[in-house]
Amino acid sequence: MPENIENFLNSKYGQQIFNQEFGRCLDCDQSKTSSDWCKNCNTKRFQKDFNKWTSGNEFVDKFIQNAQSRARNRQEVIEWISYEQLIDIKYLAQGGFSTIFKAIWLVGGIEKWDNKNQQWERYAFPLEYDYKSNIKPSLNEKEKAGRRVVLKSLNNSSNIEKDFLNEVNDNIMIIFII
């Protein structure tokens, strides 16, 4: 057995899946990989939607698709967010290789699959008042909920290459295993 698989199976998370602590999926009868997550079924759902979005960069698209295919829970999902889904974008800082912004993602991230409505259930929070910043945002009717996010705009990002994304992927894999 490869060492990385053995390490995973010996981890607390690996044992939880092996012991079926999250239960079995009602659709495919496989072990769930989180309380509300079936990796087997959700991977197929993501793959079905691969042709419905693009970043405009083949390497970035493949990177996101691979991450979605590997996601064992909602925390491991990476999504392409179109600019139209973001509001209240504000500059935070400039670094050597990127610019950092904060924004509100209107639909919020994927929470779990809603079998009844056959769509992703998303987590978004009421945006009526930002207590931490003591700011009441000016929102229209469609902007009553969202998720605060940090955006990183890479300098020269239209030229992102496979090697850079492989390095990012290697770092994500370390997080997945831990």
Task: Indicate the domain borders of the chain.
Answer: 3-155+168-177
With bands split at pLDDT 50, 70 and 90, how would you rate the model's confidence at 74? very high
pTM: 0.75
DSSP secondary-structure letter at 53?
-
In this predicted structure, the answer to whether residue 44 has a pLDDT above a threshold of 90 is yes
Query: Can you tell me the distance from the alpha carbon of 169 to that of 67, in angstroms, rounded to the nearest whole number?
Result: 8
Average pLDDT over residues 79-108: 90
Percent of the chain with pLDDT over 90: 42
Provide the strand spans (E) within 38-144. 86-94, 98-105, 109-114, 119-123, 125-126
Average pLDDT over residues 106-117: 94
Percent of the chain with pLDDT over 70: 75
Which pLDDT value is given to residue 178? 43
Weakest-pLDDT range from 6-10, 53-57, 95-99, 122-126:
6-10
Instruction: List Cα–Cα distances, 35 to 17, 40, 43, in angstroms.
Output: 10, 14, 16
Residue 150 belongs to what H/E stretch?
Answer: strand 145-154
